[in-house]
Structure 1
């Protein structure tokens, strides 16, 4: 009886250790891929369901759904985000927009020239924006887009809402 109880105790202790260690050891392959290429894991949200890295460096990331994440500013991820991945950069991006003041601007590229600087560079077409690398340490949660709210790509959304109600743009 004592042998059975000690085995049960040992099993329960092992189970408890595994319950603590396994969540810490879990690494999402896409976030590991970013780290291995000199980029922070938190560039992409937790909502990534799969990705494909082609031989030519084209990275296609598939999310569960389009969504919004918060870093310093709001960022919109379409359900597919594409870009050319090389060490320290993700350029030629499609499917990613960042809110600047009242506008949503497409992010064209993301570059980490010198990780020791603690700075990441975002190319938003009309300008380059420097942000702290620490903002991107952990993958953010991604909220589903809220249809019909002013907080989400307001100009484009208002136009979509009008079209759904039967109004067309005047030319």
Structure 2
């Protein structure tokens, strides 16, 4: 009876506790490796899209189980593929293999107008084309334009630089 109330802990108590600590250390190191090695650009490529669809300046992203992708930048920024595009500080879309559907937070310049990009689709990677749905039209561009993530400059800064370089022509 005295053995039941002994303050001495059984041997399996220490083994179990050591196993839990070891498992926790392994789990934490694996999780940090996974998050640091997986970028938004890697995610895009794994889903059949080019890495250069989103700029280098992406700070973080979330992907929910239902496919909703949210991409976060420090501030809105401007870059150029074939035409100029503006990324809001948050870009959202439904990510499926080969497409971003219902895009919010991405605007493209077309013939002096800024039009929201609705969908981005790569139907057949062998074709070398990517389709941008800008609401009033569908525009096909070369996938080669999106191989590398572009550098995106703060929206106001780039517009001011363009005006200084090109003078009156840039003030459209």
Quick check: TM above 0.5?
yes
Q: CA deviation at 1:35?
A: 0.1
**Deviation beyond 2 Å, 4+ runs, structure 1:** 149-152
Gapped regions of structure 1 (runs ≥ 5): 1-25, 153-171
Deviations 1:104-156 (A, max 9, x none): 00000000000000000000000000000000000000010117x5899xxxx
Question: Is the partner of 1:140 in helix, strand or coil?
Answer: coil
**1:111 maps onto 2:121 in alignment:** yes
**1:143 equivalent in structure 2:** 153
TM-score normalised by the chain length of structure 1? 0.70
Gapped regions of structure 2 (runs ≥ 5): 1-35, 163-172
The structure 2 residue matched to 1:123, chosen from 129, 133, 153, is 133
**CA root-mean-square deviation:** 2.1
Which whole-Å CA distance do the structure 2 matches of 1:150 and 1:48 have between them?
A: 23
> Could you say which structure has the larger radius of gyration?
2
Count of equivalent residues: 127
TM-score normalised by the chain length of structure 2? 0.70
The structure 2 residue matched to 1:96, chosen from 106, 110, 115, is 106
**1:76 maps onto 2:86 in alignment:** yes
Q: CA deviation at 1:65?
A: 1.1
**2:52 equivalent in structure 1:** 42
Deviations 1:60-87 (A, max 9, x none): 0001210001100001000000000000
Which whole-Å CA distance do the structure 2 matches of 1:57 and 1:34 have between them?
A: 12
Alpha-carbon spacing, 1:83–1:151, altered in 2? closer, same or farther (3 Å): farther
Which whole-Å CA distance do the structure 2 matches of 1:116 and 1:151 have between them?
A: 38
Which whole-Å CA distance do the structure 1 matches of 2:144 and 2:93 have between them?
A: 22
Deviations 1:14-63 (A, max 9, x none): xxxxxxxxxxxx96610000000000000000010000000110000001
